[in-house]
Chains A and B, each alone.
Chain A
Amino acid sequence: MLKSIKLRAILILIFLVISVIYCLPNVIEPQGVWKKYLPSDKMHLGLDLKGGMHLLLELDTVKLVQNIADRKFNAFKDAMIRDGVRFLGLDAKENAFLVTIRPEQKEKLYNIVGKEFSDLKAGTTRTEGENIVVEFLMSTKELENIKDNAVNQALETIRNRIDQFGVSEPVIVKQGGNQVLVQLPGIEDSQRALELVGKTAQLEFKLVDEEGSARYTGGSVPEGDEVLTLKSRNKETGITTTTPILLKKQTLLSGELLTDARVKIGGEFGNEPYVAIEFNSEGARIFDKITAENVGKRIAIILDNTVYSAPVVRERITGGKASITGGFKMDEAKDLAIVLRAGALPAPVKVTQNITIGPTLGQDSIKKGIQAAILGAVLVLAFMIYYYRLSGVLANLALFLNIIYLLGAFTALKATMTLPGIAGIILTMGMGVDSNVLIFERIREELRIGKTVRAAVDGGYEKAWVTIFDSHVTTLITTFILFIFGTGSIKGFAVTLSIGVIINLFTAVVGSKTIFDWILMKYKPRSLSI
């Protein structure tokens, strides 16, 4: 008997020491030697307590597929022209291309598709007078792959941007088919963060259609042209104005070939910050060619379909360096350099959820949560002592152990504490005493029918055990499902409640029983204060 009490007491103490060690960093900063050997992680606080931003971004996959199809369409057209396939008509329809040719050209066409566009599947062929119309379909599996890759690429790009911007402990994860969840704790300028994360950052260089512009007065846009807006900011007043500008549709050069982007100040742009970009060798070659061909003309620098500037090419530029100006403020230029360096998102993203919690609100929540926890604890403890006297003290010891274990386990498991999580702890205190209540009521019953103290305690624990076990399992089932289906703060609640319930099983059945046994052994009381 004594041996078993000792064994259990040691077990309880070991758990207590481990929990306290894990809890310590939350209270004091470990110093010197201690720092080396003891855990130093603090409890992770959720956004609702720490303040920050929670964004759910949805990749526009429809647009993405359209972009991919457009690109493939152009490549397909180029290949046909290059190999001398004389097509009489070419049409794109969703994920299908329709080519109208003379029947004798059919073999040549199939050759190109077989060699270079193996992912295109030949669909129906129908005759139209003397010609035939051949249909090619993009495979749906391929499209799924493209979507998948795009989400992963977006994830990577966003991670890069956030890393370069510098946010501690960000969360960036894929969610569902085409969503990315981003959590940025401690962010103060939410607008800036949103721009940084959500900007597509598609950089393009296009030629300004000067002739067309001269004739263009609104209305129908000339064939092969498009109208975008040119954004310019007046340095003195800070007012941004937009003017429409007519461009040749064809993209001469895009941001994929960038190797670097840096913020610079001075030089020919005065003291206004600008972004200096650098292309890789292929980009440099293309840039060389387009500047050589277009001396005296204007080339528009476009970011996400907004023209930032449209400088006149004064001479051929070799070496692949260019600058983007646009009346930037320092922060804007910095962020632009980051997004250009990190690369463009494969498709535009839409913000479908945006929760921003200011730092003061978070602190307020922590304060209120802790106050509520203290009040709750005091009331529960007082009630237990009033109702169960000395045994109540014992139950309170078990409850105290429960909370220390819970906090220790929580920190050790690196779980995230949220506001509902604090509520979960308080609820655990209320429900945690239930096991002891069940046991004590049983003991009382046993005593009422005249059993000895020893027999009553043993009988009480034994009979209450089945009930305690059943009730804990049912609670665990609900918390488990909450964990699977819940997001963010709900998960925090589910974790606290389930850890609390499991620990409670131990503290109530092993913890308080051990102390009971020890007291009964030592003092052999004739009656029990319960």
Chain B
Amino acid sequence: MKFVEITKKTNIDFIGFRYKMLVLSCILVLLGIVGFVMISIGKANLSVDFTGGTQLQLGFSKQVSIGDLRKALISGGVDDVQIQEISGKNEFFIKTKMIDSDKERVQDKINAILNNEFKETGSRILGSNMVGSTVGKQLKRNAIIAIAISLVCIVIYIAWRFTFIFGLAATIATFHDVLSILGIFYILNMEMNILFITAVLTIAGYSLTDTVVVFDRIRENMAKMKSKTELGTVINRSVNEVLSRTLVTSITTLVAVGAILVLGGKVLFDFSLALFIGIVVGTYSSVFVASPLIYMWRQRVR
């Protein structure tokens, strides 16, 4: 029988690559740690969900330059404003640290400025998001707790299904993925909002699935192959055997996420980009991080 195949029967020495890949992974993780520190001290591009402030989406019926908009807002008393243009639609995202007070809503203030300055171009507020700073702190704390708890639950599950070392390796691989996305988003200066946290957790789940599939095969082959067989050989063979599955699943998921990336609009763009990067990193880590870790651990013990 003939099959359409992405990879013919492969025999790649994944374990042999481990030191080169270790360097790459360390760079990614290091980036992630820098990103995490920056987030903690508030230097990263965090959305108002976490920092508190106001975010508005504005629409104009005619073209307006970003400079004019900025000038109008600053002269109207809305300083500390970040403006982002949504290309081709005469729409803008604006973000400021200001929050509503008892006397005045930020939205109303901005609306008044726009009505004054852009009479001919007919402005309107399409959507707004105002978050008080206490809520932001609460959300940030909740997000960190959510990530931590889910990682712990997963280690427990995997440790129970396999062994503690497998569980540990899977967790390190997952941390590696989470930190990598964090680092890449930090470097790209993409905005991190609640959706981003959702994406990170989804990726944690996805990457684990990938890792579990590889581990399952390692466990199966360890039982099947003679005990004298070197662990490296068992791992290499297992990863090679599931390689086509790993690639096919990654491709279909990337294709689906790619569709959101292209057509989902601005709100979902960052979200799907995080998923996209995460899937790539997650696939990489299940092959090049999780399994070699087990190998290196066993080497050390022996």
Beta-carbon contacts of B104-130 to A below 8 Å, as 1s and 0s? Answer: 010110000000000000001111111
Residue of A nearest to B139 (CB): A487
Chain A interface extent, by class: 35 or more
CB distance from B39 to the nearest CB of A (A): 17
Residues B268 and A470 in contact, CB atoms below 8 Å apart: no
Asked if B194 is at the interface of the complex by the 8 Å CB criterion, the answer is yes
Distance in angstroms between the alpha carbons of A482 and B242 in the assembled complex? 29
Partner of A372, one of B124, B125, B132, B268: B268
- In the complex, A75 has a CB within 8 A of chain B: no
Tell me whether B216 and A467 are in contact (CB under 8 A).
yes
Q: Is the interface of B mostly helix, strand, loop or mixed?
A: helix
A431-B263 contact, Cβ under 8 Å, with A437-B248, A438-B213, A441-B242: no
Q: CA–CA, A467 to B209, complex, Å?
A: 9
Given contacts A434-B249, A474-B209, A475-B206, whether A386 and B4 have CB atoms under 8 Å apart is yes
Q: Report B204-235 residues with CB < 8 Å from chain A CB.
A: 204-206, 208-209, 212-213, 216-217, 220
For B242, the chain A residues whose CB sits under 8 A away are: 441
B90 contacts A by Cβ under 8 Å = no
A481 touches B149 (CB 8 A): yes
B247-265: CB near A (< 8 Å → 1, else 0) gives 0110111111111101111
Query: B268's contact among A368, A475, A478, A481, by CB below 8 Å, is which?
Result: A368
- Asked whether B128 lies within 8 Å of A355 as measured between CB atoms, the reply is yes
Please name all residues of chain B whose beta carbon is closer than 8 Å to the beta carbon of A505 when the two chains form the complex: none
Partner of B135, one of A352, A372, A384, A426: A352
List, in ascending order, chain A residues with CB within 8 A of B249's CB: 431, 433-434, 437-438
- Tell me the chain A residues, 453-500 only, with Cβ under 8 Å from chain B: 463, 466-467, 470-471, 473-475, 477-479, 481-482, 484-487, 489-490, 493, 497
Contact check, B4 vs A474: say whether CB atoms are below 8 A apart. no
Docked CA distance A258–B21 (Å): 75
- Residues in B with CB closer than 8 Å to A352 are 131-132, 134-135
Distance to closest chain A CB from B148 (angstroms):
10
Contact B135 A353 (CB under 8 A): yes
In the bound complex, how far is the Cα of B272 from the Cα of A387, in angstroms? 25
A479 to B205, CA, bound (A): 8
Give the A-B contact count at a CB cut-off of 8 A. Answer: 214
B96 at the A interface (CB under 8 A): no
CB contacts (< 8 Å) of B57 on chain A: these are 361
Residue of B nearest to A369 (CB): B264
Q: Are A444's CB and B131's CB within 8 A?
A: no
Q: Are A471's CB and B255's CB within 8 A? A: no
Q: How far is the CA of A322 from the CA of B253 in the complex (A)?
A: 68
Residues of A within 8 A of B256 (CB): 376-377, 379-380, 426-427, 429-430
Residue B18 CB within 8 A of the other chain: no
Residues of A contacting B258 with CB < 8 Å? Answer: 376, 379
- Knowing A477-B154, A485-B143, say if A471 contacts B213 (CB, 8 Å): yes
| 14 A-B pairs (CB sep. < 8 Å) | A350-B132, A355-B128, A357-B127, A365-B267, A368-B268, A376-B255, A379-B258, A419-B267, A420-B195, A441-B244, A470-B216, A477-B157, A478-B150, A481-B150
Residue positions of A touching B, CB distance < 8 A: 48, 56, 58, 176, 190-191, 194, 348, 350-358, 360-361, 364-365, 368-369, 371-373, 375-377, 379-380, 383-384, 386-389, 419-420, 423, 426-427, 429-431, 433-434, 437-438, 441, 444-445, 447, 463, 466-467, 470-471, 473-475, 477-479, 481-482, 484-487, 489-490, 493, 497, 527-528, 530
If A423-B272, A430-B255, A486-B146 are given as contacts, then 11 extra A-B residue pairs at C-beta distance below 8 Å, sorted by A number, are: A355-B130, A368-B268, A376-B259, A426-B256, A427-B256, A430-B254, A437-B252, A441-B245, A467-B216, A482-B198, A493-B198
